[in-house]
Amino acid sequence: MRGDVVYRTVVRCFAGVFALLGLRIRVHGEHHLPTTGGAVLAINHTSYLDFALVGYAARERGRLVRFMSKASVFELPVVGWLMRSMRHVPVDRHSGASAFRQARRALGGGELMGVFPEATISRSFRIKRLKPGAAALAQAADVPLVPCILWGGHRVATVDRRPSLRRGVAVTVLVGDPIVPTPEDSSVTLTARLRTAMERLLDEAVDSYPDQPRDDADLWWVPADRGGTAPDVATGDALDREALRRIGAPTD
C-alpha cells in the first residue's frame, strides 16, 4: 500500500534524525507487541517525539502503528497529507464517534492503534487522568490493551520549552504486559487497571533511567516527587487546563 511505503519512509527518516541527535534509545518489553493482529497501545504523553518513538519501537516487531490524533493536524500542509497517507485516524471533538468507528475497523483488520489516553502532554511528566477511550476501544474490538511508557523524549522537545539539540540524551521505551479485557470489565475498571500498569511502568522507567541532571537548572525534567523542579501533578493539571482554555478547547 502507498500508505505503508510512505510510513516506512517516515520511520526511516526519524531513525536518521534520532541517530543525528545521538539519542540512546533503549526499548524493553517489545515482545509484548503482537507481530500479527490488532491491539490498542495506550501511551503516556510527555513530548512531541512520542509518536515517532513508539513507531521506532514497533518497527522491531515489523509493525506500523496507526495513531488517533486531533483533526486539526490533518489540515496542515504536507503534515496532513503524510498523516492521511499513513492512515492515522483524525479525531474531531465534535464527532468522536466517527473516529471510534474508524479505529475499531482498523483494529478488526489487524492494525495496531496508538492512543494517548491523557490526551495532552503532561506538564508534571507523571500520569494524568486517563480518558476511557483507549479501554472502550479495546473492549469494542475485543483486542488487548498494551501499556507503553516513554521517558526521556521530553528532554528533547516538550511543551513550554524550546527544543534541545543536545546530543546523547537517553530515551527509554517500556512496553508492558497486555491487558486483556474481560466480560466483567467496564471501561472505568479497565481504565483503572491501565492506569495502575502505566504508573508502575513509569516508575520503572524513571528508576532505571541512566542519565542524571547536570546541575540544579537541569532538574526541570525530573518529576517533583523525585526531587525535580517539574510541576507537581496538581499544578501540572492546572497549567494544562489553563493552556486548553487559552485555545478554546474543552478542559474536562
| Host domain of residue 137 | 2-216
What is the number of domains present in the chain? 1
Q: Which three cell numbers stand for residue 26?
A: 533503549
Alpha helices in 93-224 (DSSP H): 96-108, 133-141, 187-208
Q: pLDDT tens, 84-110?
A: 999 999 988 766 788 899 999 999 999
Beta bridge mates, 175: 148
Per-residue pLDDT tens digits for 114-150 = 999 998 999 999 999 999 999 999 999 999 999 999 9
> Does residue 43 fall inside a structural domain?
yes
pLDDT at residue 2 greater than cutoff 80:
no
pTM of the entire predicted model: 0.93
Q: Residue 218's pLDDT is what?
A: 97
Residue 235 lies in a domain: no
Give percent helix, percent strand, percent coil of the chain, each to the nearest 5. 45, 15, 40
* pLDDT per position as a tens digit, 179-230: 999 988 899 999 999 999 999 999 999 999 999 999 999 999 999 999 999 9
Structural domain contains residue 12: yes
Within a domain: 227: no
93: closest CA among 121, 66, 70? 70
